[in-house]
Amino acid sequence: MAHSNWLYQTRDIMFQIKEWLGVEKLLSLDAYKEYYGMDDINSFLDVNFKVCRDVMCPANKDADEPGAKFVGGNEHAVVTPDSFKNVYKTVMDAELGPQFGYRGEGKIPLCWYAPILEMQSAASP
């Protein structure tokens, strides 16, 4: 079934980040130098890949059937399928949630977060 056939390959992302963008200079900035090294991107992408494949993509069927529903005659009150709660919890537990705004320690570079969002969008269109 299409909902569980998620194919994604990270080689091009790894090339862009490690070879083409020259992220070493970015990681030498004060905001990142004590937290991340070049090898850390592998961990982020591996975890995100597994979350997308094992949790987000299978929840797509619930997005179609039964889908989200308006409740109580209020167009602003929406109930989502239970699987969405698991997706949200898994993404947040993996620390792959929002990275924008002031976050202090642990904020990852945008050039790392953009491919994470791309993978998540592909897994849960």
Domain range list for the chain: 2-123
Confidence at residue 100, expressed as pLDDT on a 0 to 100 scale: 63
Task: Calculate what percentage of the chain has a pLDDT beyond 70.
Answer: 87
Residue 42, classed as helix, strand or coil, is helix
Does the pLDDT of residue 89 top 90, yes or no?
yes
- 90 near 20, Cβ under 8 Å? no
Distance between CA atoms of 55 and 61, rounded to whole angstroms?
Answer: 12
Distance between CA atoms of 1 and 117, rounded to whole angstroms?
Answer: 24
- Residues 6 or more apart whose CB falls under 8 angstroms from that of 61 comprise 1, 3
**pLDDT tens, position by position, 27-79:** 898 888 888 888 888 888 999 999 999 999 888 888 777 777 878 776 778 88
- Report the chain's terminal Cα–Cα distance, integer Å: 15
